Structure 1
Amino acid sequence: MDNKKVEVVILSGFLGSGKSTLLKELISLEKSKGKRIGVLMNELGDISIDSAIIPKETPFKEMLNGCICCTLQGELSLQLRSMLDENELDTILIESTGAAHPLEVLEACTHPMLVSKVNIHCVFTVVNAKQWLENSLSIKLKKLLVDQVKYADIILINKCDQIGKEQLHEVRDTIRSANPQADISTVTFSKFDPALYEDFSLQTKQNTVNEGKKTHVHHHLHLRTVSFSIEKPINRVSFLRWLENFDGQLYRAKGFIYLEETPGLFLFNYAYGMPMFERYSFDKKYEPVLVFIGEELYHDEIKEEIDQL
């Protein structure tokens, strides 16, 4: 098997927005291109209904009784690893529950044991136009809806036939305000123009060529992930000082690293400004690697700064 990474597409959106219909559309589109696809699906309940849409020959795993963003995040990483080990795939489609936060799903997909195997292709978010317009959810759920939009690369305003034209303009304007960078399309039954996905794929490939440089090319992925191997032990104090002074929007950092001061491999985690080093004592060994999640991150620039610590 070659070292080509598997493309991961994350499907986000609140309950009843139309994610499963979108999943069906994406499966059909990818299969029409001859792609080998796998599907991971998460349900809040203990019975999966939507899994009936998955073609029998498609590698499929489901996680029940929990949300990817909390109890099942570790399981998603393990299921993803298992799917990669068991199948030769080009694309994995992940349909998260409506209560999941896209950043948390992305977090599970960028576990240090996975970064050498997968590439986050894009985050699709489906919005129920009427639900967004009425804005009648609790404060906590309203914030979740906005975050599902904020961290998307492609946004489908779905069920737009259920509201008037003026109302649709209002929905589109407020969504654009929440995420100026995303591609936004108005649809019914989650049926989007395939060119939207194809154009995005081409732009993503073009950006990958320039990912190490601060060019004027539009870096399409709103949330960017940067990962690279670490060839030598890192000075802990210098590393923490570098994190404190990081120039950019860094949401998360993690990885396996060796430290100059202490022997042994450490699992490193950094979230909400808090770093944590935990000695890794399991039998399975991992190559030292660092993963960063944020906005406007540049691979070569970050790697050079880490190498100079």
Structure 2
Amino acid sequence: MIDVYLFSGFLGSGKTTLLKHMIGQVKAQGLKPAVFMNELGQTNFDSDSVDDGVPLKELLDGCICCSGSEKSEAQIQTLLAEETFDVLMIETTGAAHPVEALDAIFSPLFAERLNFKGIITVADSKRWLSRDELSPQIRSLFLEQIRHADLILANKMDLLTEGEQAKTIFELQSLNPAAQIIQTVHSKVPFKQLEKTTAKKSDDVVKAPVAKLNLDTRVLRFEAGVKRERFEEWLRTLPDTVYRIKGYVPLEGDKYPHAFQYAYGMAQWLPEYMKMQPQIVVIGEGLEGVELP
């Protein structure tokens, strides 16, 4: 039996960071991990985070929980046929409903080979406190991802005051009293905590309806290097409905583009040491008019 963990959480919550931590810890235990990743856009920058030698399958430009369910099932079946591994980690897109995503896992073609351990939801604690500012559809999905979790990582706790931390934990517990909640920074958690996770029985799960999301993606390509200050000024002009940006930004004077992550108004730059495609993916609502500076 292969242990399976499903990583859920809204855009920019820290799922890919969690995935990177877990890959390292699983390998340190002498186990072999495999990864299935889902991305809304046609390009998956997050797959660059997966170590060489780790079996990887992807579903791009679709959602594991809706139109891409059959494709996801086929990808997982191929992974099982081509590779030998002990742990399968599935990272859903930030727009996926976690219960619907389970359809691909419980396929009759291979369900008997998989031991589903549970839904691990990474909750952006700072976004949680301002959830009322989200559109109704997005807020509903955000709540659903937390409500159906078996383990909740209350992430980005370092960005909150002690009072805000207590308020966040209390409210998350009220929404999902059955789930264990762990406070995290940069999604750091011991793998043994995930191993203790037990999935809810299928008859315990009641899925609330979620309206169709109006999330859109745009790929913006750079023709030349940009000044970091000007690029960050452009970020500050973006509407609040831009939830996530990721990709590679070419900076003037640097040989290689920088890996770039943006969520909830906060940017992260990481140096790269190889030539990457100079482009970014923007995810959000109402992206008309969002163009590079």
TM-score range for the pair, normalised by the shorter chain length: 0.5 to 0.7
Q: Give RMSD over aligned pairs.
A: 1.7
1:221 corresponds to which letter in structure 2? A
1:131 aligns with 2:127: yes
* Alignment partners' CA distance in 2, 1:34 and 1:74: 32
Residue 90 of structure 2, aligned match among 90, 94, 108: 94
The residue aligned with 1:108 is 104
* Alignment partners' CA distance in 1, 2:204 and 2:123: 26
TM-score (norm 1): 0.64
* Alignment partners' CA distance in 2, 1:161 and 1:103: 29
Q: Bigger radius of gyration, 1 or 2?
A: 1
1:153 aligns with 2:131: no
2:168 corresponds to which letter in structure 1? V
The 5 A counterparts of 1:122-201 are 122-135=118-131, 136-198=133-195, 200=196
- Tell me how far 1:250 sits from its aligned partner: 6.6
- Tell me how far 1:162 sits from its aligned partner: 1.2
* Alignment partners' CA distance in 1, 2:166 and 2:205: 33
The 5 A counterparts of 1:1-309 are 5-135=1-131, 136-198=133-195, 200=196, 220-222=198-200, 224-225=201-202, 249=204
- Tell me how far 1:118 sits from its aligned partner: 1.0
Gaps (5+ residues) in structure 2? 210-293
Gaps (5+ residues) in structure 1? 202-219, 226-247, 253-271, 273-309
- Tell me how far 1:140 sits from its aligned partner: 1.3
2:38 corresponds to which letter in structure 1? N
1:173 corresponds to which letter in structure 2? F
Q: How many residues end up aligned between the 2 structures?
A: 207
> Which of the pair has the greater relative contact order for Cα pairs under 8 Å at 6+ separation?
2
* Alignment partners' CA distance in 2, 1:169 and 1:185: 12
TM-score (norm 2): 0.67
* Alignment partners' CA distance in 2, 1:166 and 1:64: 40
Does the 8 Å CA contact 2:26/2:191 hold for their aligned counterparts?
A: no
* Alignment partners' CA distance in 1, 2:48 and 2:148: 28
Q: SS at 1:116's partner residue? A: helix
- Tell me how far 1:141 sits from its aligned partner: 1.3
